[in-house]
Structure 1
Amino acid sequence: MDEVADAIADAVRREILESLRGTRLTAGEIAAKFEISRPAVSRHLRVLRECGLVHDELVGRQRFYVLDPAPLAEVAEWIARFDTAAAWTHRLDALETEVYRTRKAHRARPKDEQTKENTA
């Protein structure tokens, strides 16, 4: 996970990953998107390849780079542990269940008990 986190810590590498989302590109096509040198883009691609975020496919004489998002799953799971919305969803689901049970129990009681309770 640390290798992937280090790789995505760099803005250029994150932009490369965005560029590869849903498509495959050659190193030249990727380099054309940046104002940095081709060797610098090549070094970024090597980092992404080494941590498994991209892999290359040789097609004829061209090498295409393809995104492999699988290594991001572990990072995403780690980040999700800090997501308080997920904890609230769990709590609200539990509250909904308890409200349902209470209503069901209330409906199941005899009518005369419910009447006494409402007049008190």
Structure 2
Amino acid sequence: MTRPQPQVLAALADPTRWHVLQLLAERGEQTATQLAAPLPVSRPAVIKHLIALQQHDLVSSRRLGRARLYSANPSRLAETAQWMASVATTWEANLLRLKALAEDTRHTE
């Protein structure tokens, strides 16, 4: 399993970028103007967020006439989600071992 670059997680951590990604996942292809409509930021700000998401392959775009349509990249999101689930599983296992160790220590005192 490929570990995502820290910048991918940083890109996903921004609330506006996350909202843009959610809109693309829910609605499919959208223009920057369509994405900006429900958001509290301007169209140029949305474009900057889309560029940041595109740099990490979380979003792709294509031209249709004069418009640029953006869409979420589900495979990149799935990779990141799988990695995060793997990390969570590892942490859970470590915490269970720590709990067992703490309980064993408590019983031997």
TM-score, normalised by the number of residues in structure 1: 0.64
Could you say which residue in structure 2 is the equivalent of 1:29? 34
Residues in 2 aligned to 1:75 and 1:67: alpha-carbon distance in whole angstroms: 13
Greater Rg by CA: 1
Task: Give the aligned residue type for 2:59.
Answer: V
Q: Does structure 2 conserve the Cα–Cα contact (< 8 Å) formed by 1:4 and 1:72?
A: no
Q: What is the alpha-carbon distance in structure 2 between the residues aligned to residue 80 and residue 68 of structure 1? A: 19
Matched, 1:16 2:28: no
SS across alignment from 1:25: coil
Identity of aligned residues (%): 40
2:7 is aligned, of 3, 7, 25, to 3
Aligned to 1:77: 82
Gaps of 5+ in 1: 88-120
Q: CA separation in 1, counterparts of 2:82 and 2:72? A: 19
Gaps of 5+ in 2: 94-109
Deviations 1:50-109 (A, max 9, x none): 10011111011111001102222332222212237x97xxxxxxxxxxxxxxxxxxxxxx
Give the number of aligned pairs. Answer: 86
**Alignment counterpart, residue 43 of structure 1, candidates 48, 52, 73:** 48
| Greater relative contact order (Cα < 8 A, sep 6+) | 2
Q: Distance in 2 between matches of 1:69 and 1:6?
A: 18
Choose the corresponding residue for 1:59, options 44, 58, 64.
64
State the TM-score, normalized to the length of structure 2: 0.69
| Contact kept in structure 2, 1:4 and 1:71, CA below 8 Å | no
